[in-house]
Amino acid sequence: MGVDDFRIEARCLLERMLTDAQQTDERDMLIERYTDELTMLYGQHAHMLLTEVIEDARTRLDARLSPDPIRQTIATVQTTVQDLWNALWGPGDVRR
């Protein structure tokens, strides 16, 4: 799941809209319908992304709070790698 999945689905939606636009004269209705569909698509992908982030945070928190020092070390390494990744790609990069 990610930007690529959203892009593919949005592109399919827009292709469908262009096809429908050739078959109807009701432009405003068509724009409203596809605006609603694109909004729902965005909401679905945002919800899936948020769910993944929450699950990842929960796993990391569980590992950090664990009495097992090995799990704590693994959690620290994961956080360090994630920080390095974020520093390399930065918040403005589209590939994330």
Give residue limits of the domains in the chain: 3-89
Say if residues 1 and 48 touch (Cβ distance below 8 Å). Answer: yes
pLDDT tens-digit series, residues 36-54: 999 999 988 888 888 887 8
Q: Cβ neighbours of residue 56 under 8 Å, at least 6 residues apart?
A: none
Say if residues 1 and 94 touch (Cβ distance below 8 Å). Answer: no
Each residue's pLDDT, cut to its tens digit, for the chain (96 residues) gives: 577 888 899 999 999 988 888 887 888 888 889 999 999 999 888 888 888 878 877 777 777 677 777 777 777 777 777 777 777 666 554 444
pTM of the entire predicted model: 0.56
Measure the CA–CA gap between 37 and 33, rounded to whole angstroms. 6
Angstrom CA distances, 23 to 26, 35, 73, 76, stand at 9, 18, 61, 57
